[in-house]
Structure 1
Amino acid sequence: MREGGIVLKNKNIFQLIHATEIINNSNIVYFMKRFPHKIGVTPVLVLAELRNSGAQKQTVLADKIGCTPGAMTNISNKLVKAGYAVRKYNDDDRRHVLLDITEEGLKVFNEAQAFGREFQTELFDALTDEEIEQYVNIQDKLLAAAIQRNEK
């Protein structure tokens, strides 16, 4: 009986993972199609990090965002070209370069954040108040487990 329960639990977990991936991908597609600025989700995450923590080296940003240094260079180039970020050079050491958010980048980030809240609210309208409460409790439990796992 125990072995059958494990198989069912694993099957349900994989179904949950699959459904979560589909929802996440759908949300990204929705964002990309409807957000008026031609900027992806990862560059928005970079803008958020710059807004929250200030100017940073691209290697530090890559670690925080979870992308490769090469991908971060590409994202940074696009953000700078769009006027959403600037590179700040150290006069004493030109190799020491920080990426920083611009006023235009802050404006686009704020719009992306508001847009994201709006469409997430639409998504969660499918749930009842009780289901939302259950979902919040589940997310809190998973977050606590993730934090505990990362502290080991």
Structure 2
Amino acid sequence: MEQANIFKLIHAIEKMNNHNIIQFTKQYPYPLGISPILVLSELRQKGPQKQVELAETLGYTKGAMTNIANKLVNLEFVDRLDVKQDKRANQLSITETGEKALVEAQEIGKKMFVDLFQELTEEEINQYLTIQEKLLQGIDDRIQKNN
């Protein structure tokens, strides 16, 4: 592929991502970005977890995870639970309020993507899906190769 086209593609992706972030932020009523929402999603999927586990899974530093956890606790989206085996440790657990905030974030995200993809024909959506699946397979292959 011609390098100019790669940079043009990168620019288009960045522009679209920036637009989506701005639109999401305008619609989402809570003072959260994507990182805390990903933490809520992880807690809903896998249940209570230690901050260090969440940081590793999501690729955040311990400091970033502490800031995210504090924000989520202050908003009452997560609770800190004591770990019986280790009195110094605790786990984060999503609350009912956090569940509602996560569902709202997901609904806004879905609506935004549906609106975005309305610009494409059915054939273009199928082509785009094929491309995304190929890129994801390449990521999976690299992860498998490095493990």
The question of a shared fold, defined as TM-score above 0.5 by the shorter chain, is answered with: yes
* Match of residue 54, structure 2, among 58, 61, 67: 61
Identity %: 48
CA contact (8 A) 2:27 2:108 kept: no
Give the corresponding residue for 1:148.
141
Q: What TM-score results when the alignment is normalised by the length of structure 1? A: 0.90
Runs (4+) of structure 1 exceeding 6 A deviation are none
- Per-residue displacement from partner, 1:56-77 (whole Å, max 9, x unpaired)? 1111111222221101100100
Query: 1:24 and 1:74, CA in 2 relative to 1: closer, same or farther beyond 3 A?
Result: same
Q: Flag structure 1 segments of 5+ consecutive residues without an equivalent.
A: 1-5
Task: Give the residue type in structure 2 aligned to 1:125.
Answer: Q
Match of 2:120 among 111, 116, 127: 127
Higher relative contact order (CA 8 A, sep 6+): 2
Letter in 1 for 2:129: V
Distance 1:84 1:61 in 2: 15
Per the alignment, residue 109 of structure 2 pairs with 116
Q: CA deviation at 1:84?
A: 0.2
The alignment's TM-score, normalised by the length of structure 2, stands at 0.93
In structure 2, the gaps of 5 or more residues are none
How many residues end up aligned between the 2 structures? 145
The residue type paired with residue 62 of structure 1 is: A
Distance 2:84 2:127 in 1: 54
RMSD: 1.2
